[in-house]
Amino acid sequence: MQQFKHVFLSTISLGLLIISCNKSTDSDSSEESGNWVKRSAFEGYARTEAVSLVIGDTAYIGTGYDGTNRLNDFWKYDPTTNQWTQRASLPGVARSSAVGFGTSTKGYIGTGYDGVNKLKDFWEYNPSTNQWTQKANFAGSARYEAVGFAINNLGYISTGYDGNNLKDLWQYNPSTDTWVQKSSISGDKRSSAVAFVYNNKAYLTTGINNGTYLNDFWSYDPTTDSWTEKRHISNYSSSDYDDDYSDIVRTNAVAFVVGDHAYLTLGDNGSYIKKTWQYNFDADTWERKTPYERSERTGAVAFAVKDRGFITTGRNSTYYFDNMDELKPNETYEDED
């Protein structure tokens, strides 16, 4: 049974909860494209600001904040059996707003916030032994709300907040346990952004800086250590391709890649969002998909494993969540599945 943790209830949050039970009334037919299907609920405490990572064909979720405590537990999800299994807890201090990424054989968690301190410790998880090993501290400043990703078994951490929003990029080499600073994003500093990887390039967008929700979008090529600006994620140009881009901009969203498309959903931009967008890498354009079918929320996690995309955890002003859903991007919307 799905479990929720109460935060507080206000007239506004009650309205959000009621709205979340109904499908969007947007007449755009593309919002019938894609179907969200319930999967086995996350077995740990309901939480927000956790990390997710994938090692091989297995997904993992850990850390986060349950509204009272920061957490260091760690869980494995098998998409074939739709089952969760608890694994060894992260030995470091319990935290939220950390980053996680996986290579083909190991997983990594670092940075974050323990409720008092910004963190820069860095840990490696070995799934074959179910053991953690502390590695060289992250070489950038202690921070939280950063992004992490891996390309060709090298890890990367970028952006975040250390008392100042950031735009630096650091590469981690597991074979030498060393960090090297790479080229910073050419765009704005930010925290609470999203990053995803496709064809050995990273894509970074959304987030917030100076109280402004950002609309720039960047691609990073590690072979040339260079950033390329993509089209903005708002109605920015004089062309009509982006006329409908009114609600892509947000913070604390989630994103994942399935097949040849990326998917962006959830987060907030002054109110909680569940509008879902599909990114076409070849055309550099976005298209609406069926909105997330459960309660809108912020601070969730997403992962793609075996070319399947999943979302779980997060919070809104009323609840912390543990339900999990899979997006079937090529199916038509169906209610109550």
Per-residue pLDDT of 245-292, as tens digits, reads 989 999 999 999 999 999 999 999 999 999 999 999 999 999 999 999
Rounded distance between C-alpha atoms, residue 17 and residue 324, angstroms: 17
Give the model's confidence band at 194: pLDDT under 50 very low, under 70 low, under 90 confident, else very high. Answer: very high
Rounded distance between C-alpha atoms, residue 197 and residue 53, angstroms: 13
Residues 6+ apart with CB under 8 A from 240: none
CA-closest candidate to residue 279, choices 237, 228, 233, 311: 233
State the DSSP string of 63-101: EEE-SS-EEEEEEEEETTTTEEEEEPPPSS--BBS-EEE
Q: Are strands 226-229 and 217-221 parallel, antiparallel or unpaired?
A: antiparallel
Please write the tens of the pLDDT for every residue from 170-188: 999 999 999 999 999 999 9
Give me the residue spans of the domains in the chain: 5-20+64-288+299-332
Average pLDDT, the chain: 92
pLDDT at 8 (0 to 100): 33
- The residue type at 82: N
Q: Are strands 5-6 and 319-320 parallel, antiparallel or unpaired?
A: antiparallel
Give the pair of three-digit tokens for residue 244: 């409908």
Q: pLDDT over 90 for what percent of the chain?
A: 89
pTM: 0.91
Q: Does domain 5-20+64-288+299-332 have CATH number 3.20.20.140?
A: no
